[in-house]
Chains A and B, each alone.
Chain A
Amino acid sequence: MIAATFAALADPTRQGVIELLRHKPRRASDLADALGQSRPAMSRHLKVLRKTGLVEPANDDGDLRARVYQLRPEPFEELRDWVEEVERFWSLELHAFKAHAEKKHGRRR
């Protein structure tokens, strides 16, 4: 799922959608206009974002034009956990290296 989330976020237009939705939920047509996209193009981007769970319709009353999209925080939390794990891994390795290098250097002096 993580890689799918990264892939969904790889596109500048979809990053633009996320940025806009940070502030408030919006209709697909508003997102298209704000980002200079055609309606069909925006529809495809929203489909990718919905599939990865990054956005969801805030209301689903059947009228597609009135549908408002909002962000879902869960995938972002997954991303953060993932990054924290990788970060922790490398941080521990670098500190292990530091301990080794400083011990070795101290011995040589």
Chain B
Amino acid sequence: MVAGDKVRVEVFVAVPIDDCFRYFTEEIDQWWRRGPAYRLARGKAGTMKLAPMLGGKMIEHLGDGTSREIGTITTWEPPAHFTMEWRGYNFREGEKTTVEVWFESSGEGTRVKLEHRGWASLPADHPVRHGEPVDVFIRNVGMWWGALLTSLRQAQE
């Protein structure tokens, strides 16, 4: 693994773990955001589907008879954990990254943690982007180069 070659985000959901896992995997079309940064289909067209099993595919059906595969489940441990081989929309044949999701019971709800990693394996001219510009967003990067950049700035001042 490359130092810093990953992103981790998490959220607390006030729903018990079994339901939480089920909603996440079986109702993905209902919560997956719409818009050009998240789906190929425009407006309310199309559906996002995840076949909840080992080897199951995450596929966007565009509503015009065509579809696009986005991921394949490579680890399946309900209700605690699953992993997907992730192919972004503009990934070419053979290009893939990894998305791993954990569910942990926490009080009356569930802590959902998601990690996306593996861009170092993508070719240098890869066009993958998620669309929207970065804006003000509270985050906890905690990355190797985050600290690096800070120290560089300090060194230059």
The number of inter-chain residue pairs (CB within 8 angstroms) is 138
**B-contacting 9-mer, from A27-35, A37-45, A58-66, A81-89:** A81-89
Note all chain A residues with C-beta closer than 8 A to B5: 6, 9-10
Rounded to whole angstroms, the CA-CA distance of A73 and B150 in the bound complex is 10
Note all chain B residues with C-beta closer than 8 A to A101: 13, 15, 19-20, 23-24, 31
Rounded to whole angstroms, the CA-CA distance of A88 and B136 in the bound complex is 10
Decide: B31 and A73 in contact? CB cutoff 8 A: no
Q: Judge if A47 is at the interface, Cβ distance under 8 Å.
A: no
Decide: A76 and B10 in contact? CB cutoff 8 A: no
Decide: B137 and A91 in contact? CB cutoff 8 A: yes
Q: Judge if B51 is at the interface, Cβ distance under 8 Å.
A: no
The contact of B139 among A7, A84, A95, by CB within 8 Å, is A84
Chain B 121-147, CB within 8 Å of chain A: the 1/0 string? 111111001111111010101010110
Decide: B126 and A73 in contact? CB cutoff 8 A: no
The contact of A93 among B32, B133, B135, B148, by CB within 8 Å, is B32
Decide: A98 and B13 in contact? CB cutoff 8 A: yes
Rounded to whole angstroms, the CA-CA distance of A97 and B9 in the bound complex is 13
Note all chain A residues with C-beta closer than 8 A to B116: 86, 90
Note all chain B residues with C-beta closer than 8 A to A82: 119
Note all chain A residues with C-beta closer than 8 A to B31: 93, 96-97, 99-101
A-B pairs with lowest CB-CB distance, top 4? A100-B31, A6-B120, A4-B124, A89-B130
Chain B positions near chain A (C-beta within 8 angstroms):
2-5, 7, 9-15, 19-20, 23-24, 27, 30-33, 37-38, 112, 114, 116, 119-126, 129-135, 137, 139, 141, 143, 145-146, 148-149, 151-153, 155-156
